[in-house]
Amino acid sequence: MKNISRRNVMALLGAAPLVGAVVARGETPKPAAGAAAAAAASRDRIRERHFPNVELVTHEGRKVRFYDDLIRGKIVVINFMYAKCEGICPGITTNLVKVQRMLGDRVGKDIFMYSFSLKPEQDTPQSLAEYAKMHKVGPGWQYLTGAPADLELLRRKLGFTDPDPLVDADKSNHIGNVRYGNEPMQLWAACPGMMKPEMILESIGWLAPGLSVMSAKGDRK
Amino acid sequence: MANISKSDRTKEKRSEIAAKNRRELIAAGLKRRDLLKMGLLTSAGMLIPKSGLSARPLTSAGFAYDDTPQSRPTTPFVEEMPRLVEKTGSASQTILTGPPPQRTYNSLGGESRTVDHQVFNELPPQKYYEVHQRAFQAKAHREFSQPSTLWGYDGIFPGPLFKAYYGEPMLVRHWNDLPPDGQNGGFGLNSTTTHLHNGHTPQESDGYPCYFNDRGKFYDHHYPNVLAGYRSTHPNVDPRVGIPGDLKESMHTLWYHDHRFDYTSQNVYKGMAGMFNLFHKNGQFDGGDETMGFRLPSYPNYDVNMVFNDAVYDRQTDQLAFDLFNLDGILGDKMQVNGKVQPIFRVAPRRYRLRWLNMGPSRFYQFSILDPTNNSTRPVWQLSTDGNFLDRPVKVNGVRLSVAERTDVIVDFTGMAGRTFYIENRLEQTDGRGPTGNVLAAGQGTKVLQIVVDQPLQGTDQSVNFDTALASLPAGQPYFYGYPDMNTPVRVTRTFKFERNNGQWAVNGKFPNCLEPPRFTIQLNTAEKWIFQNNSGGWQHPIHMHFEEFQTTRINGRAPSASGIVEAGRKDVLRLEHNMQAEVYFRFRDFKGLLPMHCHNVVHEDHAMMVLLNIGDVGDLKTNP
């Protein structure tokens, strides 16, 4: 840690995007001018805390940025897996494939599904493409790998962790939850990946229009 | 004592880490002045510990990977503790906005209820209330630079205090006036479900998590305020109360909060919680008048509701911050009572009834009254567990409250004019998993509230003095109602294992599903034995059942304790501690329909640690539903 740069220290403290603001404003931010400004401010805070703009590679070999290309302005469904996982992954993938079928052509249009690799050192774009093909994953659902440190950062930022370090280190027993979010609406929630696909779909519907059978919310403007 | 030395070791380790980080930061070219300016270093040279909201693992450098929000430091005991605002009702339904209330659900009239009221015609409302759920601004401490946006019932936190009476059915119309989509300030869903916690309420008014009150709509909750058993075991009017039902089923300290499926933790944390005191009429029993009935200190002057919660305010903005990506449970670094950070409560030198509620989200407490002059504990009389009286009060040094648990205590300040005391939390908890099991020594915990005895004594304290009253009570005779009998034979014993599989919270390995039939059906007017199991030494779970209370019969094969940390009594939350197995007895009476049973660590609850069940005319015999 001797060669730690000032930038890295800021990143470590998670304060980087705010340093300028804090110093300039002397820690007395002015009340937001209006609802739109307040919404923008809180949306920025979520991005700063949880959405590092790391570079990733899709199973189709495309280079993407996590925030810019995968999250910003989108409704997303997220899980973590690895291609050779024989534990919980196949079950969750099967489940999510059913969700994808129910979502139909909205996947890739206004709802995006992402699976992030827990073992990026093994999971090449090609092996992820094979995994996707084997599970009959449809278009609009992307499998992502990249630099191991970046995927580890993402895993932690998105809360796919266990507070017990021993449990957390055991990838064969990894977190099997599915997160869904509506980034511009600042709505984020999660459910077990093994929950019934109809209920996962319904849960996504509480933050995406036109899907929920229980709530009029999705259709309200 | 082992627990102190462990705590000291932890502190030592933390300061080592802080010192190491400080060296690294300075080596990186950051001047001490810069760190001070950034608020990352205190004048004493310690880094601000980043142990706020997140319960996630730290890197080897001692920092969380994420930008864990933390609050700015605040001076304790400068804010006055607000008293809850009593809700005003009316005998006339004309106070309600929108169409008149009706038995059948009124979709065309803008109501989001989808089930008819069960006993609207038999027990028509005598009092009407209207609540507006909306966003508002509040400052939890004067040293915050600006107020934080919260959501609340009638735009206050805690929400208005309901004063309800047995035998006086009421109707509460909740209007969802929350902000439009995209204006939640970073968390919270503008679709709600209001649960009256502990109420003997028909399910359509109870706050079932799969019934939604969406923005712009209203939902009528009909609270009959009946004694359990009124349609079954105790149909005759009890002449002492003037209504049917089992007097021993009386309950008194309830609360209400949002229960929206998937979003309970966010919405409650944002402020959607309030309390509900249920009295008997005419000063009888627990009637709010210290000259009558149980002679508990009079409401409202000496009968005081206290809502405890922990929170984090992002120090950059002083806005309430929520960790959206947490599965484990979240801890705040600010301790609040009735919405203020570490406030002062001023009392007269006499007895008080304090109604304590742990509103969560994930922290457990063990509260004592601390005398700071010699770090000693002043005992209190514990009256109740959750909303329900013990058979007689117990003198205790402390009470333990997991999330959603309540207890009423009598604290005696007689002869203490000029003195100062604290409510101290002595339960160690370092992450969302639950307390570690260590209880800190008196004076080593967190002072949550300062109590200053500086108010003049008005008249004479006529409330009961349990030191003398219990001495003259014959052995075995209850001071309060006594416990309802458990004579109804158990129809079925069901076991519920609370577990975590791959980070997925589950009960008996299964997850709730609003779209499927309920997991099991209880037969109306029967009794059941339930066994709650926690096989983990790392996690604890406050298990809450809606609609009916239980009596705990066994904990880990022994009788539940009736003194010290009280486990006995009637409850609606079972504190399922490390590696615990608890057996409880339920009777299900009066109303039918869908209900949840769930973990009340609201982060666990929102991630599926819930069972959806049914009460019907014909029940099943599933033993591991």
Give the three-class secondary structure for B134.
strand
pLDDT score recorded for residue B66? 53
Contact residues on chain B for A153, CB-CB shorter than 8 A: 65
Contact residues on chain A for B436, CB-CB shorter than 8 A: none
Dist CA B345 CA B432 (whole Å): 29
Across the interface, whether the CB atoms of B606 and A189 are under 8 A apart is answered yes
Q: Cis before residue B560, ω within 30 degrees of 0? A: no
Q: Which residue spans within chain A are E strands per DSSP?
A: 55-58, 63-65, 75-81, 111-117, 141-146, 177-182, 187-192
- What's the mean pLDDT when you consider all of chain B? 91
Contact residues on chain B for A203, CB-CB shorter than 8 A: 262
Whether B29 has a pLDDT exceeding 50, the answer reads no
By C-alpha distance, the chain A residue nearest B265 is A189
pLDDT score recorded for residue A11? 36
The percent of residues above 70 in pLDDT, for chain B, comes to 89
Across the interface, whether the CB atoms of A19 and B38 are under 8 A apart is answered yes
Average pLDDT estimate for B314-330:
93
Across the interface, whether the CB atoms of B187 and A168 are under 8 A apart is answered no
Across the interface, whether the CB atoms of A196 and B325 are under 8 A apart is answered no
Tens of pLDDT along A8-59?
333 333 333 333 333 333 333 344 457 778 778 899 999 989 999 999 999 9
Average pLDDT estimate for B459-464:
97
pLDDT score recorded for residue A198? 97
- What's the mean pLDDT when you consider all of chain A? 85
Tens of pLDDT along A115-172?
999 999 999 999 999 999 999 999 999 999 999 999 999 999 999 999 888 899 999 9
Across the interface, whether the CB atoms of A157 and B505 are under 8 A apart is answered no
Residue of B60, B193, B504 best to disrupt the A interface, most CBs of A under 10 A = B504
Dist CA B523 CA B462 (whole Å): 46
What is the value of ipTM here, to two decimals? 0.88
User: What's CA B548's distance to the chain center, in Å?
Assistant: 16
Tens of pLDDT along A165-191?
889 999 998 999 999 999 999 999 999
List, in sequence order, every residue forming a beta bridge with B279; answer none if it has no partner: B165
By C-alpha distance, the chain B residue nearest A217 is B214
Interface of B with A in 517-556 (CB under 8 A): 538
Residue of A49, A158, A203 best to disrupt the B interface, most CBs of B under 10 A = A49
Q: How confident is the model at residue B420 (pLDDT cuts 50, 70, 90)?
A: very high
Tens of pLDDT along B108-134?
999 999 999 999 999 999 999 999 999
Q: How confident is the model at residue B42 (pLDDT cuts 50, 70, 90)?
A: very low
Dist CA A179 CA A182 (whole Å): 10
pLDDT score recorded for residue B36? 47
- Look up tokens 């302005």; give the residue: A73
For residue A54, give how far its alpha carbon lies from the nearest alpha carbon of chain B (Å): 14
For residue B16, give how far its alpha carbon lies from the nearest alpha carbon of chain A (Å): 16
Contacts within 8 Å (CB) and 24+ apart, B480-483:
B480/B285, B480/B294, B480/B383, B480/B389, B480/B390, B480/B391, B480/B392, B480/B393, B481/B247, B481/B248, B481/B250, B481/B285, B481/B389, B481/B391, B482/B248, B482/B391, B483/B248, B483/B391, B483/B551, B483/B569, B483/B570
Tens of pLDDT along B256-271?
999 999 999 999 999 9
For residue B300, give how far its alpha carbon lies from the nearest alpha carbon of chain A (Å): 37
B432 touches chain A (CB under 8 A): yes
pLDDT score recorded for residue A44? 92
pLDDT score recorded for residue B67? 62
Average pLDDT estimate for B497-522:
96
Interface of B with A in 267-306 (CB under 8 A): none
Residue in B145, B142, B14, B138 with CA at minimum distance from that of residue B79: B142
Residue in B76, B43, B49, B81 with CA at minimum distance from that of residue B62: B49
Average pLDDT estimate for B385-413:
98
> Are B537 and B578 contacting, i.e. CB atoms less than 8 angstroms apart?
yes
Least CB–CB distance from B504: residue in A165, A177, A186: A177
Whether B35 has a pLDDT exceeding 70, the answer reads no
Average pLDDT estimate for A82-96:
94
Dist CA A132 CA A143 (whole Å): 8
Tens of pLDDT along B292-307?
999 999 999 999 999 9
> Are B96 and B222 contacting, i.e. CB atoms less than 8 angstroms apart?
no
Contact residues on chain A for B538, CB-CB shorter than 8 A: 164
By C-alpha distance, the chain A residue nearest B431 is A163
By C-alpha distance, the chain B residue nearest A5 is B28
By C-alpha distance, the chain B residue nearest A15 is B67
Whether B30 has a pLDDT exceeding 60, the answer reads no
Dist CA B186 CA B75 (whole Å): 27
Least CB–CB distance from B145: residue in A28, A48, A163: A28
B62 touches chain A (CB under 8 A): no
Contact residues on chain A for B323, CB-CB shorter than 8 A: 159
Task: Identify the residue with better confidence: B62 or B287.
Answer: B287
Q: How confident is the model at residue A216 (pLDDT cuts 50, 70, 90)?
A: low
Q: Which residue spans within B269-405 are E strands per DSSP?
A: 273-279, 303-311, 313-314, 319-320, 334-337, 340-341, 344-347, 351-358, 365-371, 376-378, 380-385, 388-396, 399-401
Least CB–CB distance from B503: residue in A48, A176, A188: A176
- Overall residue count recorded for chain A in this entry: 221
pLDDT score recorded for residue B581? 98
Across the interface, whether the CB atoms of A29 and B37 are under 8 A apart is answered no
| B470 Cβ contact partners less than 8 Å away, ≥ 6 residues apart | B392, B393, B479
Across the interface, whether the CB atoms of B511 and A22 are under 8 A apart is answered no
Contact residues on chain B for A12, CB-CB shorter than 8 A: 59, 61, 63
Contacts within 8 Å (CB) and 24+ apart, A25-30:
A27/B39, A27/B72, A27/B145, A27/B315, A27/B316, A28/B145, A29/B145, A29/B146, A29/B316, A29/B317
B28 touches chain A (CB under 8 A): yes
Across the interface, whether the CB atoms of B516 and A9 are under 8 A apart is answered no
> Are B171 and B221 contacting, i.e. CB atoms less than 8 angstroms apart?
yes
Contact residues on chain A for B216, CB-CB shorter than 8 A: 220
**B344-347 and B340-341 beta bridge pairing:** unpaired
Dist CA B49 CA B14 (whole Å): 8
Interface contacts (A, B; CB < 8 Å): 204
Across the interface, whether the CB atoms of A29 and B316 are under 8 A apart is answered yes
Contact residues on chain A for B328, CB-CB shorter than 8 A: 162-163
B39 touches chain A (CB under 8 A): yes
Torsion angle, CA of B376/B382/B386/B388, rounded to 10 degrees?
180
Dist CA A29 CA B589 (whole Å): 55
Across the interface, whether the CB atoms of B515 and A196 are under 8 A apart is answered yes
Across the interface, whether the CB atoms of A1 and B24 are under 8 A apart is answered yes
Contact residues on chain A for B321, CB-CB shorter than 8 A: 45
Dihedral of alpha carbons B88, B94, B99, B100, sign: positive
DSSP B246: -
